[in-house]
Chain A
Amino acid sequence: MTRTEARTALVELSGVSKHYGTVRALEGVSLEVRAGEITCVLGDNGAGKSTLIKIIAGLHRHDDGVLRVEGEETRLTSPRDALDRGIATVYQDLAVVGLMPVWRNFFLGSEPRRGTGPLKRLDVGLMRRTARAELLRMGIDLRDVDQPIGTLSGGERQCVAIARAVHFGAKVLVLDEPTAALGVKQSGVVLKYVAAARDQGLGVVLITHNPHHAYLVGDRFVLLKRGTMAGSHTRDGITLDELTRQMAGGDELDDLRHELRET
């Protein structure tokens, strides 16, 4: 696997909009994802984070604006299309099939095969070995790759999904609220793997509503609010306090504080 060391924008959105009928889900959003960097997208519920993910993942097409993948203007037609361009998305709850063994999940959708003609079959040995080795490399020591993935903890499942994306040579990793349903310790474990993926030269889009998690690992921060961009900062340009304040509602929060004091 060759890695581009040059810090080109792997994915770049400028002025991207998406409408569902008359509802403006997303309006004029811009962001860039570079190799070896983590771009955090922060926003409250209904801010347009999911819509943004779906556009980058190829589930929805944007209506306005420009989406560039490695400098080339494009419109992603399907999740497969996005995957083929090196964009892998790890969803919060639908990353894996719970009843299937870990190794089958690991290769789902991109199964290695051997043999020819009617004897073309899964390379089961390779799949088992690779799944174990790749997970071990990310520090996950599974007792048994044959166990249904549903028996793993939430954090472990996220990590399997991340390890899978890294293994398949994703250049851009989109993570949808990877820490939302996790406890403090598990969140830390997942963030470690996010950082590990970044260190391997991937560009990461981390969607979250937790500014503390974002600031721990992020290089760029994009704030969404009711479908529009409420701010875009690099790490040098913003402090954790400011980020937290903006996430919590910023000026609106100040107004609320005044109101509450007056009553």
Chain B
Amino acid sequence: MSTTTTDRSAASAGGNGEDKDGRTDGRGGGRAGERILRSSPLRKLLTRPELGSVVGAIAVFVFFALAADGFLRASSLSTVLYASSVIGIMAVPVALLMIGGEFDLSAGVTVTSSALVSSMFSYQMTANVWVGIGVSLLVTLVIGAFNGYLLTRTGLPSFIVTLGTFLMLTGMNLGLTKLIGGTVSTRTIADMEGFPSARAVFASTLTVGGVDFKVTILWWLGLVALASWILLRTRTGNWIFAVGGNKDAARAVGVPVARTKTGLYMGVALGAWISGQHLLFSFDAVQSGEGVGNELIYIIAAVIGGCLITGGHGSAIGSAVGALLFGMTSKGIVFAEWNPDWFKFFLGAMLLLATLLNTWVRRRAEAAK
């Protein structure tokens, strides 16, 4: 039944489809019918969630290229990319979660928890560090699943649920580290088995064309690509947009809302695990009080990148541009030899400007339809 009608409409569209710009979108499938006004490519571009952040990123880049002498040097750009990647690795899953309509305020301290578990397990059990890394992955995923479980079972707002787990984890990080090791930081694991290979995976430096790049940049790009694929081309991605855009409608058409949201929290946990291992293997010990406050920076990167704070709209690439803006500003100020105290001021101004620009652009694009 459906095949015949498809053929019919395709045939009828084929006759007058050529003279319209029905094939310009290049994404396949779209055919011009009798009175279809295809949106112009420009308007398509304007509805992209990351547009505001891209404009902002170009502006900030040009600004620091002019204002800071060494900014355009390859080594400086590598430093910027490294700073961006450390935030970006977490901004990707946080953006996905935000598109799914939720927050995770525990994301920053979960990174530290993940590093602590990995390091302390290996040290206390005198095991190969890879065993600790594996245990850490499990524990971190359980933290994510716990956030998701609490959220979906209690029906409380995620702001409250994860504020609770944020405080609990902050306390546990300090309390357990002192209880087990006696001090606020973990013991060095640099001399333990598996340390060199783990450092190579999570914290090595690659030299390309005489310039050093941190391996986290690869992790970051990989995560952005993976998340974009999931969001735009898989069923799960469809579900993420749906549970963030209209939870009740999604449930009514059979989308497993609780499972999708829990999965998103576990995605954040996965990001926290990668970040946590990087934190550990950049050095060889972890300070148990770290990570507090970073959760807001991940959220800022996602919002600058065009994620709607109420859910249902956004992109992984946008979060990457948001993280890049963060990296450029934080390092650009240093290269320009300004007082780094002003960094937070710029970050706040950028957040406001990017959000305003995003809102304005979206209104324009929707009104123009």
Contact = CB atoms under 8 A, between A and B. Distances in A.
Interface in B188-230: 229
Contact of B245 (A95, A97, A146, A147): A97
Interface in B227-252: 229, 233-235, 237-238, 241-242, 245-246, 248-252
Given A129-B10, A145-B30, A98 B252 contact: no
A91 B252 contact: yes
Contacts of B2: 130, 133-134, 167
B249 A95 contact: yes
B242 A100 contact: yes
B300 to A, nearest CB: 22
B369 interface: yes
Contacts of B25: 146
Given A1-B1, A130-B2, A151-B369, A108 B9 contact: no
B366 A151 contact: yes
Contact of A121 (B28, B31, B34, B233): B233
B312 A99 contact: yes
A254 interface: no
Contacts of B28: 124-125, 128
A80 interface: yes
Contacts of A99: 241, 245, 308, 312-313
Contact of B5 (A134, A143, A147): A134
A97 B30 contact: no
B301 to A, nearest CB: 21
Nearest to A107: B238
Contacts of B252: 57, 59, 79, 89, 91, 94-95
B249 A97 contact: yes
A96 interface: yes
Contacts of A143: 35-38
Given A97-B250, A121-B233, A133 B312 contact: no
Contacts of B5: 133-134, 136-137
Interface in B166-185: none
Interface residues of B, number: 44
A97 B312 contact: yes
A198 B242 CA distance: 29
A100 B312 contact: yes
A104 B254 contact: no
Interface stretch (A23-31, A109-117, A218-226, A243-251): A109-117
B98 to A, nearest CB: 13
A108 B31 contact: no
A113 B27 contact: no
B234 A120 contact: yes
A91 B246 CA distance: 13
Contacts of A95: 249, 252
A128 B369 contact: no
B48 to A, nearest CB: 12
B155 interface: no
A146 B254 CA distance: 22
Contacts of B33: 132, 136, 141
B253 interface: yes
Contacts of A110: 253-254
Given A100-B241, A129-B10, A108 B255 contact: yes
Interface in B1-44: 1-2, 5-6, 8-10, 25, 27-31, 33-39, 44
A174 B71 CA distance: 63
A93 to B, nearest CB: 9
B1 to A, nearest CB: 5
A162 interface: no
Interface residues of A, number: 47
A99 B101 CA distance: 13
A181 to B, nearest CB: 16
B29 A129 contact: yes
A132 B235 CA distance: 20
Nearest to A2: B1
B245 A128 contact: no
Contacts of B250: 97, 108-109
A111 B235 contact: yes
Contact of B246 (A96, A120, A124): A96
B267 to A, nearest CB: 16
Given A95-B249, A96-B249, A132-B9, A144 B38 contact: yes
A107 B5 CA distance: 17
A83 interface: yes
Nearest to A91: B252
Given A108-B238, A134-B2, A124 B35 contact: no
A79 B254 contact: yes
A151 B308 CA distance: 17
Q: Which of B44, B234, B245 has the most CB of A within 10 A?
A: B245
A144 B36 contact: yes
A167 B3 CA distance: 11
Contacts of B313: 99
Nearest to A96: B249
Q: Which of A89, A97, A136 has the most CB of B within 10 A?
A: A97
Given A111-B235, A136-B33, A147 B369 contact: yes
Interface of A: 1, 57, 59, 79-80, 83, 89, 91, 94-100, 104, 107-111, 113, 120-122, 124-130, 132-134, 136-137, 141-148, 151, 167
Given A124-B27, A133-B10, 8 more contacts: A79-B253, A94-B246, A94-B248, A97-B242, A111-B238, A143-B35, A146-B39, A151-B366
User: Which 7 A/B pairs are nearest by Cβ-Cβ distance?
Assistant: A128-B29, A109-B253, A109-B254, A97-B245, A125-B29, A97-B246, A94-B249
11 contacts: A94-B249, A94-B252, A97-B245, A100-B241, A124-B233, A133-B5, A143-B38, A146-B30, A146-B39, A148-B366, A151-B366
